Amino acid sequence: MRGAINFFNCDNMDFMKGKPDNYYDLAIVDPPYGIGVNKMTLGNGKNKIYRGQNDWDNCIPTKEYFDELKRVSKHQVVWGGNYMTQYLIPTSAWLFWDKGTGANDFADGELAWTSFGGALRKINISWVGANAKNGYKRIHPTEKPILLYRWILTRHAIKGMKILDTHGGSFTNAIACDMEGFDLDIIEIDKVYFDNGLKAFDNYKKQLTLFNTTRNG
């Protein structure tokens, strides 16, 4: 059974303020890390990916954002949480995505803070060169693999849970939630990212329909 995916092109703070306490079972979010990735070339000397407006990666979200996130969701997974520890309680239950970058100046991977107990867990998903895309032209500089979100869902979500994503980006989380059968409210404030992400999701649904038609035909 596919999930019910709802897309919102709006400010995430305004959106969350309209929700009651603990409305979502789980928030899986990928907010700005505050490292200026919107100005980086990702190592290839080129800057062809649309970078968004208003220097969106110059700072991390505010305390008010995290207060609202924790109010509306029972549990959270926060990518880049190592840059935001002043707003997150200490935990041993980090997630580590090993990107297989090899011997270069780029980080070996990325960390996600979680509100769950337990030990640090790692997943290996190559995100280098031709591997650094999700079956379509990359549309966001901090885009993450669909497989990565599916891994999080299988580890930390139970069927019937309602999921929140406050920084939709390329909407790969939406595709993962649809594949795994979870309901998701996903927000993206930038209109270009929103439109491109929605187009990617629509293309995924068309390919899925074509596959099912061919298989059952």
Distance CA 83, CA 65 (A): 15
Mean pLDDT (whole number) for 68-87:
98
Fold of the 5-216 domain: Rossmann fold (3.40.50)
* Highest mean pLDDT of the ranges 46-50, 55-59, 70-74: 70-74
Stated pTM of the model: 0.90
Q: pLDDT tens-digit profile of 141-157? A: 899 999 999 999 999 99
Domain boundaries, the chain: 5-216
Helices (H), 62-127: 63-72
CB 76 within 8 A of CB 29: yes
In the predicted structure, residue 41 carries a pLDDT above the cut 80: no
CA-based nearest residue to 23, from 78, 69, 65, 91: 69
Comparing CA positions, the residue from 77, 79, 87, 82 lying closest to residue 164 is 77
Residues 169-190: tens digit of each pLDDT: 999 999 999 999 999 999 999 9
